[in-house]
């Protein structure tokens, strides 16, 4: 017979390990949080049972039935004018392969709920973007649709922190848009890195949707960097997301290895 007290140290060790796992998952922000959405009023609405709806349903059902997305991206078209549908989605650079489809399924469901009859709509989640439209946008930079998010907490040395953080982001932009940064024959258009600024370490990423060529990727990222003062001035974390590119930085790791 064994003593029940002999199992206490083991239970303590298990509890500690579980807490460490929970802490690591939390710090990496591996949730797929809803961020924002936009329903287009300019493209109009479609009617139930219309050719546009049938084309949209076909494209979205095809996307959600795919098991893996090696490159985390799709741009596809279905139908003919005036009922053609263009759909673009992009998963975050650390959320490709089997990690991508769950986000797309969530995004499709979220978009249908929030913009049920809009011909044009966008939804952003932590790990992916989904856009539907009646207008093609392949290799075109979207200057109209973007969102800003920032940490409410401020840093102490605002000017130095802004300068060094932007320097890191620009370095990542050049790496992401490097024509030699390839995965096989495909442009990666994504980069992540970190940098110590004073006593703090900043973690950051920059990414473009994979319909852009490398020169337009850099142009897009340089455009969203111009919104840094409005979004992120002196903030401990922040991001700007468009439907063509995005950046993010935090004082904690938020990406998968």
Q: What's the per-residue H, E or C state across the chain?
A: CCCHHHHHHHHHHHHHHHHHHHHHHHHCCCCCCEEEEEECCCCCECCCCCHHHHHHHHHHHHHHHCCCECCCEEEEEECCCCCCEEEEEEECCCCCECCHHHHHHHHHHHHHHHCCCECCEEEEECCEEEEEECCCCCCCCCCCCEEEEECCCECCCHHHHHHHHHHHHHHHHHHHCCCCCEECCEECCEEEEEEEECCEEEEEEEEECCCCCHHHHHHHHHHHHCCHHHHHCCECCEEEEECCEEEEEECCCCCCC
On the 0-12 / 13-18 / 19+ scale of CB atoms within 10 A, 114 is: middle
> pTM for the full model?
0.86
Give phi and psi for 254, each to the nearest 5: -130, 5
Cβ proximity of 217 and 177 under 8 Å? yes
* pLDDT for residue 89 is more than 70: yes
Q: In the predicted model, what is the mean pLDDT of residues 217-238?
A: 98
- Judged against a pLDDT cut of 90, whether residue 256 lies above it is answered with no
Mean pLDDT (whole number) for 166-191: 93
Residue 26 scores a pLDDT above 60: no
pLDDT for 194 equals: 98
**Least confidently predicted of 74-78, 94-98, 151-155, 208-212:** 94-98
Q: What is the pLDDT of residue 25?
A: 37
Average pLDDT over residues 37-59: 97
Average pLDDT of the residues in 6-31: 42
pLDDT band at 129, cuts 50/70/90?
Answer: very high
Instruction: Give residue 65's pLDDT.
Output: 82
pLDDT mean across residues, the chain: 89
CATH architecture of the domain with range 34-133: 2-Layer Sandwich (3.30)
User: Residue 201 above 90 pLDDT?
Assistant: yes
Please give the pLDDT value at position 67: 66
| CATH number at 146-250 | 3.30.430.20
pLDDT band at 186; cut points 50, 70, 90: confident
Give the residue from 128, 133, 197, 190 showing the smallest Cα distance to 159: 197
Supply the pLDDT for residue 27. Answer: 40
């Amino acid at each position: 017979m064994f003593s029940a007290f002999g199992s206490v140290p083991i239970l303590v060790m298990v509890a500690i390990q579980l807490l460490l796992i929970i802490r690591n998952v939390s710090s990496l922000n591996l949730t797929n949080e809803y961020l924002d959405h936009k329903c287009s009023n300019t493209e109009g609405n479609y009617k139930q049972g219309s050719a546009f709806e049938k084309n949209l349903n076909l494209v979205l059902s095809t996307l959600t039935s795919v098991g893996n997305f090696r490159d985390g991206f799709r741009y596809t078209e279905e139908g003919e004018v005036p009922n053609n549908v263009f759909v673009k989605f992009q998963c975050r650079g650390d959320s490709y392969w089997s990690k991508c489809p769950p986000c797309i399924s969530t995004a499709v469901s979220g978009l249908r709920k929030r913009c049920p009859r809009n011909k044009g709509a966008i939804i952003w989640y932590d790990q992916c973007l989904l856009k539907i439209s009646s207008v093609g946008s392949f290799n075109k930079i979207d200057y109209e649709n973007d969102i800003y998010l920032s940490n409410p907490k401020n840093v102490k040395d605002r000017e130095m922190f802004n300068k060094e953080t932007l320097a890191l982001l620009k370095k990542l932009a050049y790496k992401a848009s490097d024509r030699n940064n390839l995965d096989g024959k495909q442009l990666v258009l994504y980069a992540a890195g970190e940098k110590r600024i004073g006593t703090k370490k900043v973690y950051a990423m920059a990414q473009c949707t994979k319909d852009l060529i490398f020169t337009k990727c850099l142009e897009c990222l340089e455009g969203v960097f111009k919104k840094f003062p409005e979004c992120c001035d002196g903030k401990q974390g922040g991001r700007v997301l468009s439907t063509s590119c995005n950046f993010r930085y935090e004082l904690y790791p938020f990406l998968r290895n």
